[in-house]
Structure 1
Amino acid sequence: MPFYPPSWVPKLPVDPPDSISVADFVLEENWGRHPLGHAKAPFTCGLSGKSYSMLEVKERVDLLARGLSKELGFEPNTGSEWDKVIAVFSLNTLDTIPLAWATHRLGGIQTPANAVYNASELEYQLKNSKAKALFTCLPLLQTAREAAQRVGIPPNRIYILELPKEYTGDQKVPDGMKTVDDLMREGAKLPRLEPLKWEQGHGAKRTAFLCYSSGTSGLPKGVMISHRNVIANTLQISTHEKPDRDAKKPAATQSDYTENVLGLLPFSHIYGLVFVCHASVYMGDGVIVLPKFEFNSTLKAIQDYKISTLFLVPPIIILMTKNRDTLAKYDLSSVHAIITGAAPLGKETAEDLHKMYPKWVVRQAYGLTETCTVVTATKPTDVWFGSSGSILPGFECKLVTLEGHEITGYDQPGELLVKSPSVVLGYLNNDQANRETFQDGYMRTGDEAVVRKAPSGHEHVFIVDRIKELIKVKGHQVAPAELEAHLLTHPAVNDCAVIQVPDDHSGEVPKAFVVKSPQVGLEESDRMIARSIQRHIEKDKAKYKWLAGGVEFIDVIPKSPSGKILRRLLRDQEKEKRRKAGAKI
């Protein structure tokens, strides 16, 4: 029995169009977007205050597309999109997303690279994607140059996305290098480009973004995201949000509700790319852009720009709950909602934040790069802590056991499979991964989930954990995320991760890696603190969930920029330690 969106979720207003580009969808008013002239400035720098109106951004995209066409020889209706791949390796800037739209205007692809990559990691993506040009920013220029040289991208095909002086200080663009503004100035001297001449189906077949999924093992996989995929999820998100936004419409006017949202999450990650940037701009909201996370400047931006919705990840929320005094220094009264994604937010952490700010609605969303982001999201009036919310319109989901049997009832865990027009084209040049992931019209998420009926009567989806990361203790499944969420409520725990370690008696048992809170006194021994942490679990959890593998204190929990705990790194380190000690691995 498939699971569908609850009855309160409206149907999609239109079938996601498949003959237009993402740029046309966002920059024209033909498909239900908020009127361009009445939208908030789509991107505003949270450090300098610099911004462009929606109409100015549309003009800048046109000028940049002209400049790129002349500079790189890309013509709108000539060749394949794979001949026009532009890589972006940068912190968040005002022009990151407009650059993508300008690339789409030429029928090309943007491949965004993680800003924390080293030269070898960037080299792999540049080579795998066959990028023809690379856009970067001054703080990352040295790494960009090194990777570009290795794959044969010449120096004159590296361009600069400019960051505010408040971030870069006295750094200047090296002589001879062109910036995005330089390309726009050159574009202003050139004739207008001919429009894309796409037939029906082209938008569903052509790749718009080539994002790289970190996965749980092996090299990152290039995920081919079509124009229709982005359009579909933008429509799914905006349709899901519409009833609650309509309820906020100003009483004295018929204009739609708009707000400022936090643009802190990396625009290279699918969460920031689609949910924050495309859906928000489509709905007329303003994205307050920050280059990267810094606690105090983020709080100041929320205060100064009266940001209403904070798109965050669990590590930042955990930091907020552990630093109440810092938060108290800023006026955060404009905030009415937190939306968290990219990794599960524990029920206990959500409750802590709600106690601190009772007026904030703590919402959770779930999605993947392979679904072009959001599959489920919390409705503001139907919050259930620990849940990832209800299924979005246009999605069909089902749960299957490890043996392949379909689950038809509530409270029965199984792998989540999803079907939607936002499910991507597949992985680039990876037939085996495509066969394993995309089957019978469904995308296998690799996540164990449970469907439960909320007190409201609506179905909610709970993500238990990655199937490959579940700990098997005497046949019982233990979700690391559940234990991590509970551990964070211990006063001595600032951050944590749980992995499985082998055990002769139980097969596997949980082991916790803990970053101690700064409040822990020097007189307290690690042994005493570890035992206190173990008792904290033993008090509230079944015996098979106890930390029989012990507690180890470390300085930092390894995480991806989107906030996912990199348990694989901890497992590898643990295996190596056990191997050297001659133990079973």
Structure 2
Amino acid sequence: MVFLPDKKFGELGTVPDNVPVYEFMLNEKYGRVPHDKSYDPYTCGLTGKSYSSREVVSRVDQIARGLSKELGWKPNQGSEWDKTLAVFAVNTIDSLPFFWAAHRLGGVVSPANASYSAAELKHQILDSGAKALFTCVPLLSVALDGAAQAGLPRSKIYLIDVPEVILGGAKPPTEFKTVNQLAEAGKSLPPLEPLNWGPGEGARRTAFLCYSSGTSGLPKGVMISHRNVIANTLQLSAFEKSHRSSPDRDSYSEVTLGLLPQSHIYALVVINHAGPYRGDQVIILPKFELKSYLASIQKFKISCLFLVPPIIINMLRMQDECSKYDLSSVKSLFTGAAPLGMETAADFLKVYPNVLIRQGYGLTETCTVVCATHPDDIVLGSSGCLIPGFEARIMSAEGQEITAYDTPGELVVRSPSVVLGYLNNEKANKETFEDGWMRTGDEGVVKVGPHGTEHVYIVDRIKELIKVKGLQVAPAELEAHLLTHPAVSDCTVIAVPDDAAGEVPKAIVVKSPSAGSDDEAIQSIKKYVEDHKARHKWLKGGVRFVDAIPKSPSGKILRRLLRDQEKEARRKAGAKI
């Protein structure tokens, strides 16, 4: 049985396949809310600096001209893989104009998580084949280290400008050119020739190379085409417009929060493409800091908060601080990247009863949203309804299609937003994609809601990923690292619950004969991870020693058995399960 979206939540029209992302976003003929009826698309939440829609168009053109001159790239020469840029930076109002400028030249943008270590950045630079790295002053030391390890020369490192308020008095080194300098140089350069794209070009060409662990294993480059981004933008637009349009407005725009990392697919597409396309103003913050977050809501009268569960939990715990600010402008909250518990949602509504809580589900491999809560059909605990243009099936472990409601199985989806695949990884592609369908690795169930509509619930994770504050942690990556520690003979890594982060990694370790005492070994193992991995990958769940790692006859680690053991241990200790 193929589950389909409810037509009352909008329908997806034709998705153009010969248009680059920048043209779709900047040209009103593709349905973007007209400049004079939209808010300024990007505004800095710290300084108030803002770009109007028309300024964004000029900014993209100027940066593209400067990039073309600097890197020697021409719009219609070479493959997109000859023009790949890695971006390792905090959120700024220049990020998307810069991304689109790279697309204007026919290039690929590979955004990297700002919390990466140098070793992790090195992996992405090498794997993506990036020809240059754009970073920012706060991350420059890590960027230089990672680039050096990858063999990328300093002459190919550039800076994205950030607000002076977060520099703490530091001045950008004059050694590195900045995006502002490229844009300034671009003003006096001749116009670029247009991209000559024929039918299907936008569907074949990669726009973004984002890194995801997929259903299992180490982070892989996900090839996201121009049409994929355009499709999900149109899907979300149709879904939202079925509620947000009203008789007295030509548009359905609002002021939204742009706090989540722009390297993450959630922020990249949902906030920074779908938002400006429908005329939203996005208030950009470089990172989460409670006071600046609350102050921006009050100052800019933000009406829609795009969040992840840990921030919602933080707001509940810090009510004394939150109560000092006027948050009355907030009408809705959209949460994603990790499930929001029903209890947490209910607690939030007790404090903010006038805020609609909505939840979405998606993956990097689906170029974001698969299903979402519709404002007219809210069911706490549900991940909402399929958005226009998606099809879904529920498959049993034996590969049989499940046709009944309330019966769990693996969620498999199809949509024009499903990506091209993983870069240079045929094994993972065969395991994940088939005939346009994508295996999510998540166990889902379809239930009929109170209004008679079909709701998707994500009930378990078949795949091995751990989600820490919405960020992915691949057990295989940590296991490979731990096995190089002299105290570790064998190991596995599992997720354990955490009130603040949702989940955190815990290492289950078989000690080597040469290891010292348990306490010494635990501290050494933890420090080994902290010295080499991003903070969200640290072993905050602890380390437990065992005599042997339980495995199947074929050698597969029995993670569920270990998770059940941990759950029982927490229950006996009186912890909340």
Cα 1:143–1:495 change in 2 (3 A) is: closer
- Give the structure 2 partner of residue 98 of structure 1: 97
Is this contact kept in 2: 1:469–1:499, CA < 8 A? no
Is this contact kept in 2: 1:261–1:307, CA < 8 A? yes
- Give the structure 2 partner of residue 188 of structure 1: 187
Cα 1:562–1:155 change in 2 (3 A) is: closer
Shift of 1:7: 3.0
CA distance in 1, matches of 2:216, 2:252: 43
Q: Secondary structure at the match of 2:7?
A: coil
Query: Aligned AA for 1:33?
Result: R
1:34-49 aligned within 5 A: 34-49=33-48
- Give the structure 1 partner of residue 211 of structure 2: 212
- Give the structure 1 partner of residue 122 of structure 2: 123
> Where does structure 2 lack aligned partners over 5 or more consecutive residues?
467-494, 509-525, 551-560, 563-577
- Give the structure 1 partner of residue 471 of structure 2: none
Query: Does 2:293 correspond to 1:294?
Result: no
Shift of 1:37: 3.1
Cα 1:278–1:160 change in 2 (3 A) is: same
- Give the structure 2 partner of residue 425 of structure 1: 420
Shift of 1:215: 4.1
Query: Aligned AA for 2:179?
Result: V
Query: Does 2:429 correspond to 1:461?
Result: no
Q: Secondary structure at the match of 2:239?
A: helix
CA distance in 1, matches of 2:53, 2:30: 16
1:308-387 aligned within 5 A: 308-387=303-382
CA distance in 1, matches of 2:164, 2:17: 41
Cα 1:464–1:398 change in 2 (3 A) is: same
Percent of matched pairs sharing the same residue: 56
CA distance in 2, matches of 1:123, 1:397: 37
- Give the structure 1 partner of residue 546 of structure 2: 578
CA distance in 2, matches of 1:237, 1:407: 27
- Give the structure 2 partner of residue 6 of structure 1: 6
Cα 1:399–1:104 change in 2 (3 A) is: same
1:473-488 aligned within 5 A: none
Shift of 1:325: 1.4
- TM-score when normalising by structure 2: 0.83
CA distance in 1, matches of 2:114, 2:264: 10
Query: Does 2:276 correspond to 1:277?
Result: no
CA displacement, residues 476-508 of structure 1 (integer Å, 9 cap, x when unaligned): xxxxxxxx99x88xxxx6666489999xxxxxx
Shift of 1:8: 1.0
Is this contact kept in 2: 1:269–1:562, CA < 8 A? no
Q: Secondary structure at the match of 1:443?
A: strand
Cα 1:579–1:118 change in 2 (3 A) is: farther
- TM-score when normalising by structure 1: 0.82
CA distance in 2, matches of 1:145, 1:326: 38
Query: Aligned AA for 2:68?
Result: S
CA distance in 2, matches of 1:125, 1:187: 29
CA distance in 2, matches of 1:45, 1:224: 29
Query: Aligned AA for 2:316?
Result: T
Q: Secondary structure at the match of 2:431?
A: helix
CA distance in 1, matches of 2:506, 2:68: 52
Query: Does 2:27 correspond to 1:28?
Result: yes
Shift of 1:145: 1.1
CA displacement, residues 397-435 of structure 1 (integer Å, 9 cap, x when unaligned): 000011111111111001000000000000000000000
Q: Secondary structure at the match of 1:44?
A: strand
User: How many residue pairs are counted as aligned between the two chains?
Assistant: 503
Q: Secondary structure at the match of 1:8?
A: helix
CA distance in 2, matches of 1:495, 1:143: 24
Shift of 1:41: 0.9
CA distance in 1, matches of 2:451, 2:23: 39
Query: Aligned AA for 2:242?
Result: P
CA distance in 2, matches of 1:268, 1:66: 24
CA distance in 2, matches of 1:107, 1:581: 48
Is this contact kept in 2: 1:322–1:494, CA < 8 A? no
Is this contact kept in 1: 2:215–2:464, CA < 8 A? no
Shift of 1:441: 2.2
CA distance in 2, matches of 1:265, 1:219: 23
Shift of 1:327: 1.2
CA distance in 2, matches of 1:187, 1:455: 56
1:402-413 aligned within 5 A: 402-413=397-408
Shift of 1:159: 0.9
Shift of 1:257: 2.7
CA displacement, residues 380-410 of structure 1 (integer Å, 9 cap, x when unaligned): 1111000010000000000001111111111
> Where does structure 1 lack aligned partners over 5 or more consecutive residues?
472-483, 503-553
Q: Secondary structure at the match of 1:449?
A: strand
CA distance in 2, matches of 1:215, 1:443: 11
Cα 1:124–1:286 change in 2 (3 A) is: same
Q: Secondary structure at the match of 1:30?
A: helix
Shift of 1:219: 2.2
Q: Secondary structure at the match of 2:217?
A: coil
CA distance in 1, matches of 2:185, 2:323: 48
Cα 1:369–1:562 change in 2 (3 A) is: farther
Is this contact kept in 2: 1:342–1:562, CA < 8 A? no
Is this contact kept in 2: 1:378–1:390, CA < 8 A? yes
| Range 83-92 or range 2-11, more displaced | 2-11
CA displacement, residues 333-370 of structure 1 (integer Å, 9 cap, x when unaligned): 00000000001111111111111111100000000000
Q: Secondary structure at the match of 1:320?
A: helix
Is this contact kept in 1: 2:506–2:539, CA < 8 A? no
Shift of 1:80: 0.2
1:73-112 aligned within 5 A: 73-112=72-111
Query: Aligned AA for 1:104?
Result: H
CA distance in 2, matches of 1:499, 1:351: 27
Query: Aligned AA for 2:546?
Result: R
- Give the structure 1 partner of residue 242 of structure 2: 243
CA displacement, residues 200-220 of structure 1 (integer Å, 9 cap, x when unaligned): 000000000000003465321
- Give the structure 1 partner of residue 389 of structure 2: 394
Query: Does 2:188 correspond to 1:176?
Result: no
Q: Secondary structure at the match of 1:177?
A: coil
- Give the structure 1 partner of residue 113 of structure 2: 114
Query: Aligned AA for 1:384?
Result: V
- Give the structure 1 partner of residue 224 of structure 2: 225
CA distance in 1, matches of 2:148, 2:332: 45
Shift of 1:163: 1.1
Cα 1:580–1:441 change in 2 (3 A) is: closer
- Give the structure 1 partner of residue 257 of structure 2: 262
* Aligned residues: CA RMSD: 2.7
CA displacement, residues 139-172 of structure 1 (integer Å, 9 cap, x when unaligned): 1011111111222322121111111112112111
